[in-house]
Amino acid sequence: MKKDTSRKTITESDVAKHAGVSQSAVSRAFTPGASISPKTREKVIKAAEELGYHPNLLARSLVTNRSNIIALAISYLENPFYAQVVRELSQKLRESDRHILLFSAPDGNQPDPDLEKVLRYQVDALILTGTKASPDLKDQCRKAGVPIVQINRKSDLSGISTVCGEDFEAGQIIAQHLLDGGHKRFAYIGGTEGSNTSRIREEGFRDALAKAGIKDVMVRYGANKFEAAAIAVRELLDSKMPPDAIFCASDYMAFAAMDVARNEYGLKVPEDVSVVGFNDVPDASHAAYNLTTYSQPAGALVDEAVKLVDELIENPSKRAQRREVPGELIIRTSSRQKAA
Amino acid sequence: MKKDTSRKTITESDVAKHAGVSQSAVSRAFTPGASISPKTREKVIKAAEELGYHPNLLARSLVTNRSNIIALAISYLENPFYAQVVRELSQKLRESDRHILLFSAPDGNQPDPDLEKVLRYQVDALILTGTKASPDLKDQCRKAGVPIVQINRKSDLSGISTVCGEDFEAGQIIAQHLLDGGHKRFAYIGGTEGSNTSRIREEGFRDALAKAGIKDVMVRYGANKFEAAAIAVRELLDSKMPPDAIFCASDYMAFAAMDVARNEYGLKVPEDVSVVGFNDVPDASHAAYNLTTYSQPAGALVDEAVKLVDELIENPSKRAQRREVPGELIIRTSSRQKAA
């Protein structure tokens, strides 16, 4: 990188000269809570405006060890749940004058090797969702004192904090709802094959079905993507004994299931096949789908994650935490209900 | 901000001592293209790994005047078009090892005063979409040498570069498509009232209709939001002479229009009313909507915006640019077609 001389940098010292005050006064004028007379502060701010000076938070971060930047590593941004996480996190951090540095990780169940570059930016913390940290990255973050919090995916690695929904219980509750509706043949469309989130939801679903004497569950994976989920649904509906109840590990895949069932197979939802999703993204309540789903609000997950990040920053020796955010079944018209 | 002493910072000098090399060698080991022997580089990298050292890009940015961070100010993240911009921009910047610092601006047509804080982070450029820059921010960016590029919204301010679709022509083409389909009563649902994008699409739409002798166009605003668009559609369909063709300034609002028309008014789309959107977001092709729309791919807008950012960084005296990215009408089943 060559030095860019076309870009002039206004320094504290320039502002001090222009305002006729000390450099320390300029520094204090831009430090919340620092002692400075209103008159001096006013002089400094006027001079700063005239010169186009902005207190450089990055430079300051070298002194305070705080950049006020939180790295967010995220995949599957075409899935509205993940877009909602970005929106909610960004708005939440705004309250404390912090911002997201975004790392878009490749979809799938492999850690993103490029993510290790995150530490070059001296971020205050790393939040992951839809992707996971490698053991290497975990070690590097520990050495650098950067806490890691995973949203919506339990970690296989000790030392990484997680904020998830009640995945197991939710799977059970959805199975019970479908059993109550008189369904006989059950299918599950998981997200990323091998991901803990997908696996735990499936385990809860199977657990409640097994207690009702049902052992057979058709399982396919939709990779959290619309087209892949559509293919999975076609496989299910093409089978000799197609399911009359499909639980999808995300709303986005449930939309694909409803589209395929209704438009390609001429099936009625829920009369011929019930479809249940997971997340309760805003589109789930729109009339085109009106999807029964397990509400696991992105906002609640994000609030808990930020709380946890702050605790871990405040107390770096705190052990990794596993927190669950409660959710609830939202019954809409995509699933048959218990006969009266 | 108090100094955080719990977090130990490993410095270049620590690494140099540990590796038994000079501090300058450590610096060169982490500078792309710098002269250093492979053996020395290896020593440095081994020492850095052992100590958990990461070359601090923020510190380096004070020397090079490049942070490799591009600020993105964005609103309406629940609208899939804007989520797609985040995804595409993040992936595009990744190619050049740069990242997004995300500012989530409030929805609406007012500049976000908090956005001025963007300059505290010494970002290399500012990209805006779904929101706009204030005259103040523009001046401050100019002084600081930070180029501004607006995506999908023309600017009232000279000195701000923009990358937009062919909004006027698209409005004309959509009007012609609906005229060809034999429609008689036309409505337009704009996005943010007062936004240039919405106004220019409306002008193109009205222009082609006027040439066909049609002066009356019912106009409502949906604020780029689902619920607000649904209210606008109800007003249109409740009127004495409801429209038989509705052009919505975004796909997301068109989804609301289709939901309301079909589910609340029992209308058939397109037999009773045609609906046309704008953007061609992935959901537009899903069977639940199968929306006729004007394709204005987020990826193409983002590519052009990054190209422009790089030109403006390279050549700070370059004048602000206005670029248009071509699009095309995608005819699906939500609009009646010309009788054979």
Reading the block at residue B71, the tokens are: 């600020």
E strand intervals along A82-132: 99-104, 125-129
Calpha distance A29→A38 (Å, rounded): 9
Burial of B314 (0-12, 13-18, 19+ CB in 10 A): exposed
Q: What is the pLDDT of residue A231?
A: 98
Q: How confident is the model at residue B207 (pLDDT cuts 50, 70, 90)?
A: very high
Calpha distance A311→A17 (Å, rounded): 41
Reduced to 3 states, what is the DSSP secondary structure of residue B62?
helix
Task: State mean pLDDT over B277-281.
Answer: 96
Residue B5 has pLDDT above 90, yes or no: no
Asked whether the bond before A242 is cis by omega within 30 degrees of 0, the reply is: no
What's the mean per-residue pLDDT of chain A?
89
Q: What is the pLDDT of residue B3?
A: 42
Give me the residues of A, 290-329, that contact B with CB < 8 A.
Answer: 316-317
Residue A117 has pLDDT above 90, yes or no: no
Residue A3 has pLDDT above 50, yes or no: no
Query: Contact A160/A127 with Cβ under 8 angstroms?
Result: no
Instruction: Chain B: give the shortest CA distance to residue A210, in Å.
Output: 34
User: Quick one: what percent of chain B has pLDDT higher than 70?
Assistant: 92
Of A22-31, A249-258, B170-179, B276-285, the one with minimum mean pLDDT is: A22-31
Query: Contact A250/A224 with Cβ under 8 angstroms?
Result: yes
Q: What is the DSSP letter of B181?
A: T
A4 interaction partners in chain B (CB closer than 8 Å):
64-66
Of A38-42, A172-176, A184-188, B158-162, the one with minimum mean pLDDT is: A38-42
Handedness of CA B291, B305, B149, B104 (dihedral sign): positive
CA distances from B208 to A115, B215, B242, B251 (A): 50, 10, 20, 21
Higher-pLDDT residue of B79 and A218 is A218
Give me the residues of A, 127-166, that contact B with CB < 8 A.
Answer: 139-140, 142-145
Tens-place pLDDT, residues A294-335: 999 899 999 999 999 999 998 988 899 999 999 999 999 999
Calpha distance B252→B80 (Å, rounded): 7
B3 interaction partners in chain A (CB closer than 8 Å):
63-65
Q: What is the DSSP letter of B118?
A: G
Calpha distance A122→B54 (Å, rounded): 9
DSSP codes joined into one string, B161-178: EEEEE-HHHHHHHHHHHH
Reading the block at residue B152, the tokens are: 């999908």
Reading the block at residue B151, the tokens are: 């995506």
Q: What is the pLDDT of residue A109?
A: 72
Residue A144 has pLDDT above 50, yes or no: yes
Which residue, B266, B248, B260, is CA-closest to B335? Answer: B248
Task: State mean pLDDT over A262-267.
Answer: 97
Q: How confident is the model at residue B278 (pLDDT cuts 50, 70, 90)?
A: very high
Calpha distance A227→A252 (Å, rounded): 10
Q: What is the pLDDT of residue B234?
A: 98
Q: What is the DSSP letter of B319?
A: P
Q: What is the pLDDT of residue A64?
A: 62
Q: How confident is the model at residue B59 (pLDDT cuts 50, 70, 90)?
A: low
Q: How confident is the model at residue B8 (pLDDT cuts 50, 70, 90)?
A: low
A143 interaction partners in chain B (CB closer than 8 Å):
10, 51-52
Q: What is the pLDDT of residue B31?
A: 65
Of A14-23, A197-206, B55-64, the one with minimum mean pLDDT is: B55-64
Calpha distance A261→A239 (Å, rounded): 13
User: Quick one: what percent of chain B has pLDDT higher than 90?
Assistant: 61
Q: What is the pLDDT of residue B52?
A: 77
Query: Contact A331/A337 with Cβ under 8 angstroms?
Result: yes
B1 interaction partners in chain A (CB closer than 8 Å):
31-32, 60, 64, 66
Q: What is the ipTM of this complex?
A: 0.81
The torsion region of residue A317 among left (phi > 0), alpha (psi -120 to 50) and beta comes to alpha
Higher-pLDDT residue of B129 and B64 is B129
Q: Which of A3, A83, A120 sits opposite B65 (nearest CB)?
A: A3
Q: What is the pLDDT of residue B118?
A: 83
Residue type, A39: K
Q: What is the pLDDT of residue A6?
A: 44
Calpha distance A235→A232 (Å, rounded): 5
Query: Contact A116/A140 with Cβ under 8 angstroms?
Result: yes
Calpha distance B142→B101 (Å, rounded): 19
Give me the residues of A, 228-247, that contact B with CB < 8 A.
Answer: none
A98 interaction partners in chain B (CB closer than 8 Å):
none
Higher-pLDDT residue of B297 and B327 is B327
Contact B90 A78 (CB under 8 A): no
Q: In this complex, how many residue pairs, one in chain A and one in chain B, have their CB atoms less than 8 Å apart?
A: 197
Tens-place pLDDT, residues B322-332: 999 999 999 99
Residue B98 has pLDDT above 70, yes or no: yes
Tens-place pLDDT, residues B212-253: 999 999 999 999 999 999 999 999 999 999 999 999 999 999
Q: How confident is the model at residue A157 (pLDDT cuts 50, 70, 90)?
A: confident
Calpha distance A256→A294 (Å, rounded): 17
